[in-house]
Chains A and B, each alone.
Chain A
């Protein structure tokens, strides 16, 4: 019998790279259980030599409710910018269901260093 190895990131956490996120909302809208929340604002940046200022989105908040998350990975798959990735960290428990909601500070730590 061949030994079956479970990949360390199978059904584990999902991490966020906020630098790559453009606040496009695709992951939020595709999530079947509505467990991702995102807030952003727009900001005008005038680059040197540019005729017009360009509008950039600034990510303010990004949370995943791992209490509701079904770990389907749709958000990871649909992100056009690879800002979401499977982590191999073990999911931390909480003392309240609301404690399973994690924001940018935590999600960035779970983003794998070299992609997944």
Chain B
């Protein structure tokens, strides 16, 4: 995987297309917690070789659209905007794909709390046997990140 500066994102992918990478693969966002990484894959159909390119976004979480280079990227850029809160500069289409309200945080950020996992009682909370429950330190449920369940005293559960 080639790592490129975010300022070179469009020129690097345009260079890929000039080098015969004629098929667009995908764009994926990755939440690295301290930053957002964006990965693109393109394929050269003549020899089925694949190029993977990655860039790390600055604090402004902005990346330039490559939809004028690879048309198929538009759909993934919508996903990037909606689910990772990335601002795709120059994207012609910024309609959300899945969210139908403006409420809530971008769904694929690690900091976004999945309400269902918080509100649904976790069956693993019950201890083996009914009497040992009080003595055991509660463990965190599968799919619940640290910090999601914070009690009123402010300590992490």
Contacts and interface: CB of A to CB of B under 8 A. Distances in A.
Are A and B close enough to touch in the complex, i.e. CB under 8 Å? yes
Contact of B128 (A30, A36, A57): A57
A25 interface: yes
B124 interface: yes
Given A30-B142, A31-B142, A34-B142, A39 B124 contact: no
B141 to A, nearest CB: 7
Interface string A5-26: 0000000000000000011110
Contacts of A28: 123-124, 126
A55 B141 CA distance: 26
A59 to B, nearest CB: 10
A29 interface: yes
Nearest to B122: A34
B143 interface: yes
A31 B122 CA distance: 10
Interface string B111-153: 0000000001011101111111000000101110000000000
Contacts of A39: 126
B130 A34 contact: no
Given A32-B142, A34-B142, A42 B132 contact: yes
Contacts of A34: 120, 122-124, 141-143
Contacts of A57: 128-129
Interface residues of B, number: 15
Nearest to A29: B124
Contacts of B143: 32, 34
B138 to A, nearest CB: 11
B128 A24 contact: yes
A38 interface: yes
Nearest to A42: B129
A54 interface: no
A23 B128 CA distance: 6
A43 to B, nearest CB: 9
A36 B123 contact: yes
Contacts of A36: 123
Contacts of B129: 23, 40-42, 55, 57
Given A29-B142, A55-B129, 16 more contacts: A22-B128, A25-B126, A25-B128, A28-B123, A28-B124, A29-B124, A29-B141, A32-B143, A34-B120, A34-B141, A34-B142, A38-B123, A40-B129, A41-B129, A41-B130, A42-B132
